[in-house]
Structure 1
């Protein structure tokens, strides 16, 4: 599953993959950051990542013009994955909104076993143009992710900023529409030192599911999943364990635990 809207690494999977983890990256990022998650989580988790156009293997593809274009492209393939095995959706910031909206579109017949929204303000607080300013602020956002544009040539700088701008444009087009409420358990993750999306902007997420909602604070800033990767992936494995147990009617699942390793996002 490469070259299109979804990317995966089935060479790491076992035949008895127990759960699909759909990962949606933050603005300006690509799917390949989740390859290391596949290695860390082990062969019984099938990691699949959304790949927006204009980056990595799709860098020649024209940018998405609307959030609806993204949903329409991604949902059919995710629906097929959900029909095969339990599905958990993880998204970070901008990616969390995409993951949430994909989950809403699966609600009637293929609801995810869990949805994790990470470093993301609640849907009613996405207010378009107020989210980010000019290029200096975008450079700061890249720096928070550990990317220093001064370390790359001018063409690479422009490519990074162009990709981030395209995603920000998608952000500004998003408006939450009332209608489908999630029934999936919702896990709301935030960084204790996140100045971009402070905890107060995440508190409203519990209104967007009729299922269980749980908040979890991590040490670190907006990209806390990089700051403390081991803790984040340990917590994610707990979500996956609960998801496979729920899909099996509450029966405990047997996992092959991978060795611990450092991962990068």
Structure 2
């Protein structure tokens, strides 16, 4: 069987840049059961000299029908291959919410171990290496109605979707697969070579703000946790504040890494 070219692989994983001529980039990773479209309003909140690029996992939206990952390790390796093909010499940051934070963290570790260009900043929202309440494997096998009730409790899906059997039929397989990815993770205390900034909410049912302290030993430069009011999906309500803070930190890091003339 012919192996797919790595460049073609990268084309599927990475959506088009918002500003291809920008000198700095941000890669965004979505949360479980969703897709790249959750970040549709981010480019409008970010200066034109920073390019925004969403990552799309298989099995959803334009990649619907592709085989989904259910284990963090092969997902990390495959996405790291795609990153290696996509990156250029521009400094970049990685930001992820919930499962996206887990995947962003592990891809950063993988890139560093391979000797590839790592990000200059990692942003982790609503996930922590220790203290995250990952659903147990048995919860992933419950009937769809029970999984929908669980999702409703997180506020992750609009009622219009939760009451649409056809839409649920398309989304629930991705939700189950992504939750299996989270459940498969085994923490190894791995460090990353870049600063980390974290974001959390005071009423998140999946991770307490105190758990974000488990990020501290993962980097030599922990930039602190930004605590917001809200539930697990505060990222949608706090987009303006999060993007402003993250871009400020990224531009500072990018400037520090560029050679002096």
Alpha-carbon contact 1:20-1:48 (below 8 Å) kept: yes
Q: Work out the CA distance in 1 between the residues paired with 2:222 and 2:138.
A: 28
2:211 counterpart of 1:201: yes
2:129 alignment counterpart: 122
Alpha-carbon offset, residue 93 of structure 1 = 0.7
1:261 alignment counterpart: none
Alpha-carbon contact 2:25-2:90 (below 8 Å) kept: yes
Structure 2 segments unaligned to the other structure (5+ residues): 1-7
2:246 counterpart of 1:236: yes
Task: Name which of 98, 106, 111 aligns with 2:103.
Answer: 98
Alpha-carbon contact 1:106-1:112 (below 8 Å) kept: no
1:13 alignment counterpart: 19
Q: Work out the CA distance in 2 between the residues paired with 1:130 and 1:203.
A: 26
2:197 counterpart of 1:187: yes
Task: Name which of 23, 28, 34 aligns with 1:23.
Answer: 28
Q: 1:33-60 CA deviation, whole Å, 9 max, x = no partner? A: 2232123214322222221111100111
Alpha-carbon contact 1:22-1:47 (below 8 Å) kept: yes
SS of the residue aligned with 1:187?
A: strand
SS of the residue aligned with 1:57?
A: helix
Alpha-carbon offset, residue 249 of structure 1 = 5.3
Q: Work out the CA distance in 2 between the residues paired with 1:115 and 1:85.
A: 15
Alpha-carbon contact 1:139-1:149 (below 8 Å) kept: no
Root mean square deviation, CA, Å: 2.8
Instruction: Out of 87-96 and 150-159, give the one that drifted further.
Output: 150-159
Alpha-carbon contact 1:20-1:81 (below 8 Å) kept: no
2:225 alignment counterpart: 215
Structure 1 segments unaligned to the other structure (5+ residues): 252-265
SS of the residue aligned with 2:136?
A: helix
> Relative to 1, partners in 2 of residues 1:231 and 1:213: Cα closer, same or farther, differing over 3 Å?
closer
Alpha-carbon contact 1:25-1:95 (below 8 Å) kept: yes
